Amino acid sequence: MASKASVVDQQKQVQGNVHYQLKHMCQAMDSILRPDIKNDPSQSPSDTHNKSRRSGLSFAVGTGVSSANKPVVPATRPLTQAELSNKFRDQFGYTLDIRPSGIPHKDAGQGLFLSGEARVGAVVAIYPGVIYSPAYYRYIPGYPRIDACNSYLITRYDGTVINAKPWHLGGETMELWDGSHLVDYNSTPSTSPESNSDRAWRMLNKPLVKSRNENFGEVLERRNPLAFGHFANHPPGGSTPNVMICPYDFPLTEKDMRLYIPNITFGGEEPVTMKRFGSFWFKSRGSGQQTGESSVLKTLVLVSTRSIRDEEIFLNYRYSSSKARPEWYTPVDEEEDKRRWS
């Protein structure tokens, strides 16, 4: 099909396939956590979502607004994260586990493991966390050296950055989540030396802090068993990746699914038009949404490149060959990396 389709058509086919799979994932979660919504449509996630929009809260969290005006968190079955994960595997065919990696290296840490069986092309994980468009780069903790103390960052091809560190291991309930859980970004010192230019840049460009009127949040299912894409390790030498990155634009019109998409957009879900000047991005006047377009959440998923059964998930990090790389990093395809970063 790819040989006969244009790039645009290929993108549409991939987006449609990913969306179809995630819709079934959301339906499986609903059947486990909220089995009564089929009998009582008024308790559907979309109805709850609309009620929260009508509250006029504008995503405010902890701003002194009365609790009566805060978004309604739907009632769910009192299952632990582990119990939900097991039930999800029984119904969906697979789930994810976090445990010590099988990579024989002292820095391997935790690894992501698929429990069950997934076919080639399956969406096996979602990359959770806070989404930053180029308009909000300076709000990323640690800016400008945002990756110095945070290994849970990833960038889409369009410049969108996702920070999974606030999500970490998820939670034990469905809740209003604003991504501001206490995270110590200085707890892990940078392993790379800071040059004089880096030091000067850091002094002149400090990260911005969101103001009181820039608070935002969404009611999300923090027990989501697939929201662990940030724990996938790079394959060790002699191994190959079994998943690949796939950008996914979640349509915000799909309110029944929103509870299970583990991401929020920094600054809220209003589109922003950006223009680039050199290496800098600036907001431009006018709406960021064109006529006929609908708002989307710019997320990432991990898709299996072969059948996977009860094994660790490996993702090719594709680090640049022009910069110093960690000692544990072994290129999967050095020539491909050079082409990508040339």
What's the Cα-to-Cα distance from 249 to each of 106, 204, 253, 319, rounded to whole Å?
36, 34, 12, 24
pLDDT tens digits for range 204-231: 455 566 554 455 689 999 999 999 999 9
For tokens 């009564």, what's the residue?
36
pLDDT tens digits for range 50-105: 444 433 333 333 444 445 557 788 999 999 999 999 999 999 999 999 999 999 98
What's the Cα-to-Cα distance from 255 to each of 20, 43, 132, 246, rounded to whole Å?
15, 13, 21, 22
pLDDT band, residue 302 (cuts 50/70/90): very high
Q: Which domains does the chain have, with CATH numbers?
A: 7-341 (2.170.270.10)
Secondary structure class of 190 (helix, strand, coil) = coil
- pTM for this structure? 0.80
CB contact at 8 A, 309 and 122: no
Q: Alpha-carbon torsion 170, 180, 296, 27, what sign?
A: positive
When pLDDT is averaged across residues 291-296 and rounded to a whole number, the result is 64
Q: What is the pLDDT of residue 334?
A: 84
Q: Concatenated DSSP letters for 301-328?
A: EEEESS-EEEEE-BB-----TTS---TT
* Partners of residue 94 on adjacent β-strands: 116
Residue 325 CA, distance from chain mean position: 24
- Residue 54 or residue 121, greater confidence: 121
Task: List the one residue out of 176, 212, 211 whose CA is nearest residue 67.
Answer: 176
pLDDT tens digits for range 220-275: 999 999 999 999 999 999 899 999 999 999 999 999 999 999 999 998 765 555 55
CB contact at 8 A, 139 and 209: yes
Q: What gap in Å lies between CA 181 and CA 156, rounded to an integer?
A: 24
E-state strands within 2-119: 94-100, 110-118
E-state strands within 101-179: 110-118, 123-126, 129-132, 153-155, 161-163, 174-177
Q: What gap in Å lies between CA 306 and CA 284, rounded to an integer?
A: 43
